[in-house]
Copies of this chain bind each other. A is one copy, B any other.
Amino acid sequence: MRVVVIGGGAAGASAAARARRLAPDAEVTLIEASGMITHAPCGVPYALSGLVPSYRMLRTYSPEKFASERGIGVLTNSVAQDVDPDGRTVLVRRNGETVRIKWDALVLATGARPLVPRIEGLEDVRPLTFRHPEDVPGATSRLERVKRVAVIGGGYIGVELAEALVDMGKEVSLFEMMERLLPGPFDPEISRVLEERVRGAGVRVHLSEPVRALSRRSEGVVVNTDSGSYEVDDVVIGVGVRPNVDLALKAGVKLGATGAVETDDLMSTNVDGIFGAGDLVEKYHLVLRKKVWMPLAPAANKEGQVAGANAVSRGSLRMRGIVGTAVTRFKDLYLARTGLGQEEASKNGFDVESTTIVAKTKAGYFPGGVEVTVKMIAERGSGRVLGLQAAGRDPVVAAYADIAAVAIERRMSTEDVFFSDIGYMPATAPVWHPLIVAARTLSKGRF
């Protein structure tokens, strides 16, 4: 049994490790285009800012250690160029040579790559993009020479890069085409809290201002929007990522409506013997009851586990759906969300109601408590909780989303949440936990 995994990130490394563990006799090969495996793209902004001292720390294992401890063949700096699904081979470019590697099961985990929007002058200015830890050293030295940096994109990546740039002492201008920051995952009540914090850190936030053109000048770059022209020294693009489907398409693998690879709950694609996992593939959304594309590491890891298990033992493990839990931060402000946003829920046919409360993270009398803004979204009538979003200067807001994620997965109502046995002590929560207050507020006096 030969298992080949293409892509050494979270999903691919999980798949390889899982296949090896379940089938000690299988020959497992992990093929990675870069020099790193088990790398953590989520850590890139913090390696850029220096909070994490080196980009080399953004990995769990060195290729050598992963290979020797797990008994997996690891080929780094090796680019899979083509897949023959009938002959069951993959063509790999490595050390200037092209080799053909046979597989009985193939796991595609080629991840995502930065989305580059259509902007005039891009080829000339060549803005920085970030996806891989190895992007960091070049960017660091390029940014050392500049002061004023434009960030294009006010989603997760743009906001996290803005934090890094502020920490590097840059003057940051952030451009977002929509009318608020994090417009996809967060509702206006939460985006507003973020915007205040970002502006408070000195970032010039330009909302509803899509960047139309970039033009290089003798010194620096001019960013043109419909509202104005802004002179900066360099430009960073952080508008998001797209699934890296090139190889999948060559293999004849089918994409879903989202543009990412479609799989079943065994992580099998339409091509016999080929599995997909991680940011490359669609996920099943348990509330929307349809496929979505949402590139997040925890699901990628689990999909890798499932793909690796089924690659060697078909039917042994099935992936479950997600509810869209995600966390980010800007400096000391943490933001977390799960389930559906209010607009997203309405668009998808739910009759929704919501409440936004401001609460404290600790008992009122206890030192160190901070304000958190919590928005809960529920289905009118049934009271079924559909979504939760929270922002505050305490990482505990991530846990609020975690608790709500489990509640949403289990189709709990606001009354169920109100009566759930969430713990209390004055140093960790108010006696009426913010989630319980939100659920009670939504009940409009029923409890």
What is A's interface to B at a CB cutoff of 8 Å?
10, 21-22, 40, 42-43, 46, 51-52, 57-58, 60, 296-299, 301-302, 305, 309, 317, 319-329, 334, 336, 338, 363-367, 395-396, 398-399, 401-403, 405-407, 409-410, 412, 418-429, 431-433, 436, 445-447
Contact = CB atoms under 8 A, between A and B. Distances in A.
24 contacts: A40-B365, A43-B426, A52-B365, A58-B365, A298-B431, A325-B423, A326-B425, A329-B428, A334-B427, A336-B428, A338-B423, A395-B396, A395-B427, A395-B428, A396-B396, A398-B423, A398-B428, A399-B403, A399-B428, A402-B403, A406-B407, A406-B420, A406-B422, A409-B420
B42 A425 contact: yes
B21 A431 contact: no
A275 to B, nearest CB: 16
Contact of A427 (B309, B329, B365, B424): B329
Nearest to A133: B365
A151 B46 CA distance: 46
A447 B317 contact: yes
A49 to B, nearest CB: 11
B309 A447 contact: yes
B326 A423 contact: yes
Nearest to A298: B424
Most chain B C-beta atoms within 10 Å of own C-beta, residue among A42, A419, A420, A421: A421
Contacts of A334: 427-428
Contact of A422 (B10, B22, B405): B405
A154 B136 CA distance: 51
Contacts of A365: 40, 43, 46, 52, 57-58
B427 A405 contact: no
Most chain B C-beta atoms within 10 Å of own C-beta, residue among A10, A302, A323: A302
A447 B419 CA distance: 32
A155 to B, nearest CB: 14
A43 to B, nearest CB: 5
Contact of A424 (B57, B297, B409, B423): B297
A250 to B, nearest CB: 29
A319 B415 CA distance: 10
A405 B419 CA distance: 11
A322 B43 contact: no
Contact of A40 (B363, B403, B427): B363
A120 B84 CA distance: 86
